[in-house]
Amino acid sequence: MTMEAIAERANTSKVTLYKWWSHKAAVVLDAMLAEVSPIIPVRDTAASPLEAVRHQMMTFTRFLRSRKAQLLVSVLAEGVLDEKVGDAFRKHWIKPRRADARVLLARAIESGELREDADIDLVLDALFGPLYYRTLVQHLPADAAFAKRLFQSIMLGIATDDARKRLLQSR
């Protein structure tokens, strides 16, 4: 894929493309975000911040099992090989989603659902990293059952006593 090919397919000039995007990675990422973002928005409408995080994990897991996930996987894989793609992926996909989830986890700490010493970045990596890993490596499915067990396991380790009881009841 080249900027020339993109310009030809869009029936425009390279100059116009470069006016809006600095490189082809930005074009691809914008296309991916336009296609995928509406499918997995972060919604802070759940009864509790932890429930909102669980819902986000389950929504992301459903997405990863869909055909549209191949676009995300392709961009992620290309980002390993191409620094510009990787930087754009982290800036436009990872950082905004982590920021939204960080807010939810901070609210979970404030509301007494998570221990005050919970390391939010570590929690995010523990919750979502295995989903990406299973999707990329494909040694085992990144399915709803796995996501549910993963969420329960992580949260049981960092939830406050009251929240832990609720989590155990919801098994």
Tell me how far the alpha carbon of residue 118 is from its chain's centroid: 20
Predicted confidence at residue 42, as pLDDT, reads 62
Residue 159, SS3?
strand
Predicted confidence at residue 44, as pLDDT, reads 62
The CATH code of the domain that includes 105 is 1.10.357.10
Domain that holds residue 14: 3-169
Burial class (CB in 10 A: 0-12, 13-18, 19+), 34: exposed
Give the tens place of pLDDT for each residue, 31-64. 777 877 766 666 666 678 998 899 899 999 999 9
Give the chain's domain count: 1
What's the whole-model pTM score?
Answer: 0.82
Predicted confidence at residue 166, as pLDDT, reads 84
Write the Ramachandran bin of 82: left for phi over 0, alpha for psi from -120 to 50, otherwise beta.
beta
Distance (Å, rounded) from C-alpha 63 to C-alpha 94?
15
Predicted confidence at residue 107, as pLDDT, reads 93
The residue ranges of the chain whose pLDDT is under 50 are none
